[in-house]
């Protein structure tokens, strides 16, 4: 942690720059070795990770494994593909440029800053780190102080397996984050809310540091009539209430065809009982809100509409039951900001045009979900809406596919990562043009007299 008596952010960055300048991180063999060490670290510390997440968020063990520990799959994907990613790519050159040849060389940026989030405090820190390592960078990692047990664990794990001149964890609150983002990095990768993302981007602008912002927003979920009702409900309930709704790509609100709403609500009641029992407060499979501030913010949303399922709260435990709210208007407070909790408002529509219009009247979301077997409807929603990503007939699962870039658009984020996209985020594609000494035509050299008609015929 940075304090008055400890090493400064500038000193850490300087040490990492010196290490980067040795060229060791540019070696593909070095990168592969570090990725393997990272995977070993996660596997060896699996139980400690799960315990930390339990302490911070009351995460059930299986949720911690599936959504945090399995970041190892991202490492495996990078290991499998890193040789191809790092290989220079030939670029086509037109006949006008004969006998030139061209290639694009991906090269590391240098020293990068990764600022993690509290809702998935391990995975959302390690996943971008995989891209940074694969691309050949040094990294400073700033975990979220709002998940203190996981932050402390990361601060213990990273120096146990890696040299601090290569990877360093810096703990602390807002003031430490402010110190860090004021420094000159080669890239800043931030995961969090839109308001803080603006602060990060403003600070980065002062040093012309490029940024990737993984933010959030109100991700809509459209439910058509042409569905398998049981599968639809299970997938929505799982995607919404995993991690007690504290997921950036959780369905934020439902747009339901009014013909199916009553049937859908009945199925929700049955499914929630099946998942969490009569009293989710005592279920071992249901999490808690991260802190009192977030709890109080969410409780205020319970004043909107009509609670048809759930609504129970316990301030002492930061517990909010899985809650579904009906008769919500688009102007309700619960519809004005990202919920980021276990509250699901429902808005009914008669025609899909209404649902699309509502989505398009708002900032572009991080994710959009559509449940429908109607391919024409699927194509229409894809063509007429914009979002960071789309998942058809499921929720959240798109984040686990390493071949799909993950990121937002507009207010929901800038840039993307996962798999090749993560490698590209932390790389610079250096263009290299090469000429030959075999011949040297005089058409571009002075004197120019009489050459223009030829050039117009040949190049025009």
Cα(406)–Cα(191) distance, rounded to whole angstroms? Answer: 12
List the beta bridge partners of residue 343: 323
Cα(177)–Cα(142) distance, rounded to whole angstroms? Answer: 8
List the beta bridge partners of residue 341: none
Residue at token pair 């004005």: 336
Q: Is there a catalytic annotation at residue 214?
A: yes
Look at strands 367-371 and 220-223 and give their pairing: parallel
Cβ proximity of 105 and 427 under 8 Å: no
405: region left, alpha or beta (phi > 0 left; psi from -120 to 50 alpha): beta
Strand order in the sheet with 138-142: 167-169, 138-142, 111-115, 187-191, 211-214, 413-414
Three-class SS of residue 140? strand
> Of the residues 214, 271, 338, 391, which is catalytic?
214
> Of the residues 63, 68, 183, 248, which is catalytic?
248
Q: Is there a catalytic annotation at residue 74?
A: no
Helix segments in 135-228, DSSP class H: 148-161, 174-181, 194-206
Cα(15)–Cα(234) distance, rounded to whole angstroms? Answer: 50
Cα(359)–Cα(202) distance, rounded to whole angstroms? Answer: 28
172: region left, alpha or beta (phi > 0 left; psi from -120 to 50 alpha): left
Look at strands 413-414 and 211-214 and give their pairing: antiparallel
Cα(190)–Cα(4) distance, rounded to whole angstroms? Answer: 25
Q: Give the chain's count of helices (H) and strands (E).
A: 16, 20
Cα(29)–Cα(388) distance, rounded to whole angstroms? Answer: 34
CA dihedral 371→376→381→383, nearest 10 degrees, is: 150
Q: What is the DSSP letter of 403?
A: T
Side-chain half-sphere CA neighbours of 412 within 13 A: 25
Cα(296)–Cα(298) distance, rounded to whole angstroms? Answer: 5
CA dihedral 104→105→109→114, nearest 10 degrees, is: 80
Cα(73)–Cα(93) distance, rounded to whole angstroms? Answer: 38
Q: CA angle, 357 as apex, 354 and 362 as ends, to 5°?
A: 135
Question: Which residue numbers are catalytic?
Answer: 214, 248
């Amino acid at each position: 942690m940075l304090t008055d008596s400890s090493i400064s952010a500038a000193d850490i960055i300087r040490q990492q720059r010196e290490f980067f300048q040795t060229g060791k991180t540019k070696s593909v063999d070095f990168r592969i070795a570090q990725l393997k060490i990272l995977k070993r670290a996660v596997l060896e510390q699996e139980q400690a990770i799960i315990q930390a997440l339990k302490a911070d968020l009351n995460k059930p063990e299986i949720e911690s494994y599936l959504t945090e520990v399995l970041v190892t799959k991202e490492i495996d994907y990078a290991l499998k593909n890193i040789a191809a990613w790092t290989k220079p790519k030939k670029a086509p050159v037109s006949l006008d440029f004969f006998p030139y040849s061209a290639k694009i060389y991906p090269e590391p940026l240098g020293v990068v800053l990764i600022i993690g989030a509290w809702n998935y405090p391990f995975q959302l820190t390690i996943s971008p780190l995989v891209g940074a390592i694969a691309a050949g960078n040094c990294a400073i990692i700033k975990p979220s102080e709002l998940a203190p047990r996981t932050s402390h664990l990361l601060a213990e794990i990273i120096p146990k397996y890696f040299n601090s001149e290569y990877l360093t964890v810096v703990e602390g609150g807002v003031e430490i984050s402010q110190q860090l983002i004021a420094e000159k990095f080669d890239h800043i990768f931030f995961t969090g809310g839109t308001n803080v993302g603006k602060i990060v981007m403003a600070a980065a602008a002062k040093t012309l540091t490029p940024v990737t912002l993984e933010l959030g927003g109100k991700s809509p979920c459209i439910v058509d009539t042409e569905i398998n009702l049981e599968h639809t409900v299970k997938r929505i309930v799982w995607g919404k209430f995993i991690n007690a709704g504290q997921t950036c790509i959780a369905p934020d609100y439902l747009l339901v065809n009014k013909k199916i709403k009553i049937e859908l609500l009945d199925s929700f009641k049955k499914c929630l009982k099946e998942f969490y029992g009569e009293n989710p407060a005592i279920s071992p499979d249901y999490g808690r809100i991260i802190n009192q501030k977030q709890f109080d913010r969410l409780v205020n949303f319970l004043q909107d509409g009509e609670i048809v399922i759930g609504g129970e709260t316990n301030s002492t435990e930061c517990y909010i039951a899985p809650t579904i709210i009906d008769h919500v208007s688009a102007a309700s407070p619960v519809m004005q900001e990202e919920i980021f909790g276990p509250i699901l408002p429902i808005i009914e529509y008669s025609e899909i045009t209404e649902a699309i219009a509502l989505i398009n009247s708002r900032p572009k979301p991080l994710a959009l979900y559509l449940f429908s077997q109607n391919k024409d409807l699927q194509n229409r929603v894809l063509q007429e809406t914009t979002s960071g990503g789309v998942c058809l007939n499921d929720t959240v699962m798109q984040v686990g596919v390493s071949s799909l870039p993950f990121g937002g658009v507009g207010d929901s984020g800038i840039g993307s990562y996962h798999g090749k996209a993560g490698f590209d985020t932390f790389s610079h594609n250096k263009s290299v043009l090469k000429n030959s000494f075999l011949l040297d035509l005089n058409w571009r050299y002075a004197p120019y007299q009489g050459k223009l008609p030829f050039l117009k015929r040949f190049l025009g």
